[in-house]
Amino acid sequence: MRRRVLTTTKILAIAFTSAACTKPEVRPDLAPSATPSSALATVVAKDASADPKLLALQGELMGMPRVKVLENVAHFRPLCDKDGYPLVGNLNQKAQFPGMEVSELCAEVRKKPS
Amino acid sequence: MTTFELEAIGGPLARRLARRREEETFAWEELDPLSRHASAETARLAWTRSAFSEYASAAAFAEITAGLLAVGAPIDLTAAAADFVVDEVLHAELSARIAMGLGGAVPLEVDLARLVRPPSSRAPLLSVAEQVVRTSCVGESLTVSVLLEAKAASIGVVGEVIGRIVRDEAEHAELGWTFLDWAAERLSASDREHLARAAEQAIASFAPLFSAECAAPSALGLLSCDVFDPAFKLALSRRVLGPLASRGIVVAL
């Protein structure tokens, strides 16, 4: 019997926006972005007037394979206890700043040479 | 560690899962303009974390189901726990859809081999009781109250999804109390003491929620600190500590 080749569809996928590095305020000229595939382009649009070095870096990221992009994106953490187990239940609705994770990511991005 | 993403095969398997919400139609297209909302970035993090929390809850109920089978629990109780696994998977999907609608997930680093804290007791009944107390009596009970607040503060499809999730979570919490009432005759005083420590540990683990700086609330499912904190404390008292104490499980905080 021939083995089936199953393909899967991502229902939760990372948006390669590094958008945490963009300013929190929303500009009215943003292009709509509801899908991850267009998210990176949106970031470029968001940062059209940003630091040229940052813009160059984003262009560099656009040409990278997915795995390389992931290597270049700082990771966030789920809400966990001291031993790393997820908190029981779902209490993620508190509007908390991502905190240092964002700052660290931005610092790393800006350190990159153009 | 791995970056948290979700995927589906589709076809008959996806239709089987979709039957869980076939009576509901969510207007996902409403998320498109919301993705440009000032708090979309914070919301994407919250909803990615939410998808993972629901995923971890599915694992917790899978372990509870196995534990209930191991102690010969009433079959309808066991079937409910098994059913809740699917509920939680569906909640993970719904949370994922919101995150995707807001522009995509954030890269969340997770350890899929450590989804559920193992029970400290090896005795079959006490072991499953510990899991039930942590997951249903503490986690799900607190979740219900917080999600009710979040639903009231959210707009459109975001509020509808939260409403859908909270409807199930109330049943998930109730399983804990039903289990404890069924097991009451089988639990000794020292067992109850053990369960009180397990509940304390679970409650204490929420401390980091109260140390971070709060961002602005939004209609994207996020609550401000001045809404979240009192709702959490009230739920802790009324929905967790009180019902536990009435069953002889006295938590000292």
- Tens of pLDDT, residue by residue, chain B (253 residues): 899 999 999 999 988 888 887 667 899 999 999 888 888 888 999 999 999 999 999 999 999 999 999 999 999 999 999 999 999 999 999 999 999 999 999 999 999 999 999 999 999 999 999 999 999 999 999 999 999 999 999 989 999 999 999 999 999 999 999 999 999 999 999 999 999 999 999 999 998 788 767 777 778 888 988 899 999 999 999 999 999 999 999 999 8
SS3 annotation, chain A: CCCCCCCCEEEECECCCCHHHCCCCCCCCCCCCCCHHHHHHHHHHHCCCCCHHHHHHHHHHHCCCHHHHHHCCCCECCCECCCCCECCCCCCCECECCCHHHHHHHHHHHHCCC
Most distant pair of Cα atoms in chain A: their distance: 58
Asked if the C-beta of A36 comes within 8 angstroms of chain B's C-beta atoms, the answer is yes
In a domain, B190, yes or no: yes
Residues A5, B72: Cα–Cα separation, whole Å:
40
CA distance A85 to A78: 9
Q: Is residue B198 part of a domain?
A: yes
Is the residue at B108 inside a domain? yes
d(CA B76, CA B226): 40
Establish if B99 belongs to a structural domain: yes
Residue A19, chain B, CB below 8 Å: the answer is yes
> A97 and B115 in contact by Cβ < 8 A?
no
Q: How far is A21 from chain B (nearest CA, A)?
A: 10
Residue with tokens 């980091």: B208
Length of chain B: 253
Residue A8 to residue B8, Cβ atoms within 8 A? yes
Non-local CB neighbours of B194 within 8 Å, separated by 6+ positions: B120, B121, B126, B130
* A34 to B213: CB separation less than 8 angstroms, yes or no: no
Q: Is A68 on the interface with B (CB under 8 A)?
A: no
Residue B137 located in a structural domain = yes
Mutation target among A5, A90, A100, A106 for the B interface, most CBs of B within 10 A: A90
Q: Specify the CATH number for the domain of residue B89.
A: 1.20.1260
Residue B50, chain A, CB below 8 Å: the answer is yes
Residue-level pLDDT at A48: 39
Q: Where are the beta strands (DSSP E) in chain B?
A: 2-3, 6-8, 109-110
Chain A CB contacts of B146 under 8 Å are 91, 93
Give the pLDDT confidence score for residue A40 in this predicted structure: 38
Evaluate whether residue B167 is within a structural domain.
Answer: yes
pLDDT at residue B216, as a whole number: 74
Average pLDDT over residues A31-58: 45
Q: Would B22 be classed as within a structural domain?
A: no
Nearest neighbour of B35 by CB, restricted to A34, A86, A96: A34
Please give the residue that has the higher pLDDT: either A38 or A111. Answer: A111
Residues spanned by the domain of B101: 29-245
Instruction: Answer yes or no: do A34 and B117 touch at CB < 8 A.
Output: no
Q: Would you state the pLDDT for residue A4?
A: 84
Confidence tier at A30 by pLDDT (50, 70, 90): very low
Structure tokens given for A44: 């470029």
pLDDT confidence bin for A57, thresholds 50/70/90: low
Query: Mean pLDDT across the stretch A91-105?
Result: 61
In a domain, B49, yes or no: yes
Is the pLDDT higher at A73 or at A94? A94
Domain count, chain B: 1
Among candidate residues A14, A70, A18, A76, the one with its CA nearest the CA of residue A44? A18
Please tell me the predicted confidence (pLDDT) of residue A26.
35
**What pLDDT score does B245 carry?**
98
CB-based contact A78 B52, cutoff 8 Å: yes
If contacts are CB pairs under 8 Å, which of residues 98-137 in chain B contact chain A?
99-101, 103-111, 114-117, 134-135
Per DSSP, the three-state class of B61 is helix
